[in-house]
Structure 1
Amino acid sequence: MEGFVANQAQIFFNTFLGGVFIGIIYDIYVTFRHFYKPKKIASCFGDLLFWFFTVIVIGTILFYSNWGEIRGYTLLGFLIGVLFYFKFISKFIRKILMIVGDKVCKFIVRVAYIVCYPFNKIGKILRFIYNPLSSKTNKIYNKIKYLFRLPKVVCSDIRKYYKMIIMKKS
């Protein structure tokens, strides 16, 4: 009998830790949403992804601790674990995740700046070369555009005034 109670206590403790782990996954998801602010569809997809990972955690813990049997004390263990996490640990973990997320975002911005820097310089050089030529090329472009548009205008005018043209010839 003692082994049976000890086994149940071990299962309860495992599910308690599983609840804490689910709370950590939730805080990671909330931190991700804080930094990336997804739209409605992406938010729905993120919610589905969160619940997918939650089901995997619950299933894995239940499978390895008591062969997947769902008992009242296992559900109570998950619930108490999540409540314990949000009551006592979540504030500290969330602060740490916000600091880490902020550092990661700043690092990504710096790397993007370093990667894009040569392209920005090349663009400035090309704009410097193109700007004096653009006024001359724009005049030529507009003339060519007018010449290509001219047959279309003439054809539409002929269609428009077709009856009037035919009446004058008769």
Structure 2
Amino acid sequence: MATSVAEQVYVFLATMYGGILIGFVYDLYRILRLIFKPKKIATLIQDLIFWIVISGVAIAVLLFSNSGQLRFYTFLGFVMGSILYNQLLSNIIIKTIVYLLSLLKKTIMSLINKLVYPIKILIQWSKIPWRWAKKKLMPIYYRWRRIATMPKRIARDVKKYIKTVMKKK
């Protein structure tokens, strides 16, 4: 099937766009791995999902641009698009996404702190009666503990006294 040069240029530019899209997906994947720090099994699952997504992107670009025909310039377009993205846009995109995620984290933490603040205040207010009760009841507690341990202390002192009397004989 003969294709014109204009169609080939269109396919090449479409596959370059696909390469840029693949580079973007790869950056998202890198950011997710940095955030979640997965273990071996989770990494395998993430890798599998990443390659399925990348394959889907490549197939979709090939199907929409030239009915799925594989030519050398389609592979060249994917490679050049991903290299172009990596050299020109990758650092900017990563910094922007990390900044947006940190901004989102700060916003969520601020919202959580605002929601939890009334609960913290209630807990602080509830501590006041407990502190007062503890202050009033602690002397009574110590007296009762001293009275409750009195038989044990008396038995210990008697044993000690008997030992010293037995040694003197």
TM more than 0.5: yes
Residue by residue, what CA displacement relative to the aligned partner does 1:122-169 show, whole Å, maximum 9, x if unpaired?
566677778969x9xxxxxxxxxxxxxxxxxxxxxxxxxxxxxxxxxx
Question: Using the alignment, how far apart are the partners of 2:39 and 2:122 within structure 1?
Answer: 34
Q: Secondary structure at the match of 1:70?
A: coil
Relative to structure 1, is the Cα distance of residues 93 and 113 closer, same or farther in structure 2, using a 3 angstrom cutoff?
same
Cα distance in structure 1, aligned partners of 2:41 and 2:130: 42
1:139 alignment counterpart? none
TM-score between the two structures when normalised by the length of structure 1:
0.65
Whichever of the two has the greater Rg, that structure is 2
Gaps of 5+ in 2: 138-169
Q: Structure 1 110/45 Cα, relative in aligned 2: closer, same or farther at 3 Å?
A: farther
- Superposition pairs of residues 94-109 of structure 1, within 5 angstroms: 94-109=94-109
Contact 1:15 1:81 in 2 (8 A): yes
Once the two structures are TM-superposed, the CA of residue 34 in structure 1 deviates from its matched residue by: 2.2
Paired AA for residue 107 in structure 2? F
Return the offset for 1:33. 2.3
Q: State the match for 2:22 in structure 1.
A: 22
2-side partners of 1:106 and 1:16: how far apart? Answer: 36
State the TM-score, normalizing by the size of structure 2: 0.65
Instruction: State the shift of 1:63 in Å.
Output: 0.7
Aligned sequence identity (%): 32
Residue 11 of structure 1: aligned partner: 11
Aligned equivalents of 1:115 and 1:102: distance in 2?
A: 20
Partner of 1:82: 82
Distance, in Å, in 1 between the alignment partners of 2:117 and 2:41 is 33
Kindly provide the amino acid, as one letter, of the partner of residue 65 in structure 1: S
Q: Distance in 2 between matches of 1:18 and 1:129?
A: 67
Q: Compute the displacement of 1:67 (Å).
A: 0.9
| CA distance in 1: counterparts of 2:47 and 2:115, whole angstroms | 33
1:6/1:95 CA distance change after superposition, 3 Å: same
- Equivalent residues of 1:35, 1:101 under 8 A apart: no
Matched AA of 1:89: L
Match for residue 42 of structure 1? 42
1:6–1:121: structure 2 CA closer, same or farther, 3 Å change rule? Answer: same
Q: Distance in 2 between matches of 1:96 and 1:77?
A: 26
